[in-house]
Chains A and B, each alone.
Chain A
Amino acid sequence: MRKMKWLLALLLVVIMVLGSLGCSSSKSPDADPSKADGSQASESKPEPKTDPSVVTIAASAEPEGMDPQIAGAAVGGNLSYNLYDYLVRVAADGRELIPCLATSWEQVDERTWRFTLREGVEFTNGEPFNADAVAYTLKRMFEPDTGRTTYNLKVVSEWKVVDEYKIDIISDKPCNDMPIRLYDLAILPPKYTEEVGPDKFGTDPIGCGPYKLGEWVTNSHIELLANENYWDGAPKTDRIVFRTIPEASTRLAELLAGNIDIVTDLSPDYIETVDSNEGYKATTALSKRVAYVGIDVLNEDSPKELADKRVRQALNYAIDRDTIIKNIYGGHALKLATIWRQDYVGYSDELSGGDAGYPYDPNKAKELLKEAGYENGFAVNLYYCPNTFLKCEEATLAIAGYLEDIGLTINLNKMEYNAYRAAFINGQEMHQGKGLFSWNWGAKPQTPDGHLAGALETGGITSYFTNKELDDLLAKLRAVDVDGRDAVAVDIQKFLFDECPYIYLWQQIDVYGINEKNIDWTPRLDQYILGTEINVK
Chain B
Amino acid sequence: MKRSQTSFWQQIKSSRLIVKLSFIVIIIWVFTSLAAPLLATHDPSKTNPGEIFIRPFAKDSKGHLLGTDEVGRDVFSRLVYGSRISLLVAVIAGIISLLIGTSLGLIAGYFGGRVDSIIMRIVDVMLAFPFMFMALVFMVALGSGLRNIVLVLGITGWVSYTRTIRAEVLSIRRREYVISAEVIGCSSGRVIFRHILPNVIDHAIVIATMNMANTILSEASLTFLGMGLPVSIPSWGQMIATGRTYTYTAGWLTIIPGIAIFLVTLSINFIGDWLRDIRDPRLRGSQ
Contact = CB atoms under 8 A, between A and B. Distances in A.
Interface in B1-56: 16, 18, 46-50, 52
Contact of B48 (A27, A270, A401): A401
Interface in A408-455: 411-414, 416
A412 B71 contact: no
Nearest to A252: B248
A477 B16 CA distance: 81
Given A324-B49, A398-B47, A398-B71, A412 B249 contact: no
Given A9-B18, A401-B71, A26 B231 contact: no
A320 B231 contact: no
Nearest to A272: B249
Contacts of B52: 327-328
B274 to A, nearest CB: 11
B133 to A, nearest CB: 17
B87 to A, nearest CB: 22
A2 B16 contact: yes
A327 B49 CA distance: 6
Nearest to B233: A412
Nearest to B48: A401
A19 B255 contact: yes
Interface string B54-82: 00000000000000001110000000000
Interface residues of B, number: 28
B14 to A, nearest CB: 14
Interface stretch (B169-177, B212-220, B239-247): B239-247
B252 interface: yes
Contact of B231 (A34, A412, A416): A412
B99 to A, nearest CB: 31
Contacts of B48: 401
B6 to A, nearest CB: 21
Contact of A6 (B18, B72, B232): B18
Contacts of A328: 49, 52, 70-71
A482 interface: no
Contacts of A267: 245
Contacts of B251: 20, 22-24, 26
A376 interface: no
Interface in B241-266: 242, 245-249, 251-252, 255, 258-259, 262, 266
Given A273-B248, A328-B70, A412-B232, A23 B255 contact: yes
Interface in A315-332: 320, 323-324, 327-328
A394 B259 contact: no
Interface string A266-280: 010110010000000
B250 to A, nearest CB: 9
Contacts of B246: 269
Contacts of A416: 226
Interface string A288-302: 000000000000000
B281 interface: no
Contact of B71 (A9, A34, A397, A413): A397
A50 to B, nearest CB: 31
Contacts of A401: 46-49, 71-72
Given A12-B262, A397-B71, A414-B226, A249 B248 contact: yes
B112 interface: no
A361 to B, nearest CB: 16
Contacts of A402: 47
B249 A269 contact: yes
B220 to A, nearest CB: 16
Interface of B: 16, 18, 46-50, 52, 70-72, 226, 230-232, 242, 245-249, 251-252, 255, 258-259, 262, 266
29 contacts: A6-B18, A12-B262, A19-B255, A22-B251, A23-B247, A23-B251, A23-B255, A26-B248, A27-B249, A34-B248, A249-B247, A249-B248, A269-B249, A270-B248, A320-B50, A327-B49, A327-B50, A393-B231, A394-B70, A397-B71, A397-B231, A398-B72, A400-B47, A401-B47, A401-B49, A402-B47, A412-B231, A414-B230, A416-B226
Interface of A: 2, 5-6, 9, 12, 16, 19-20, 22-24, 26-27, 34, 248-249, 267, 269-270, 273, 320, 323-324, 327-328, 393-394, 397-398, 400-402, 404, 411-414, 416
Given A12-B266, A16-B255, 8 more contacts: A6-B18, A16-B259, A23-B248, A26-B251, A327-B50, A393-B231, A412-B232, A414-B230
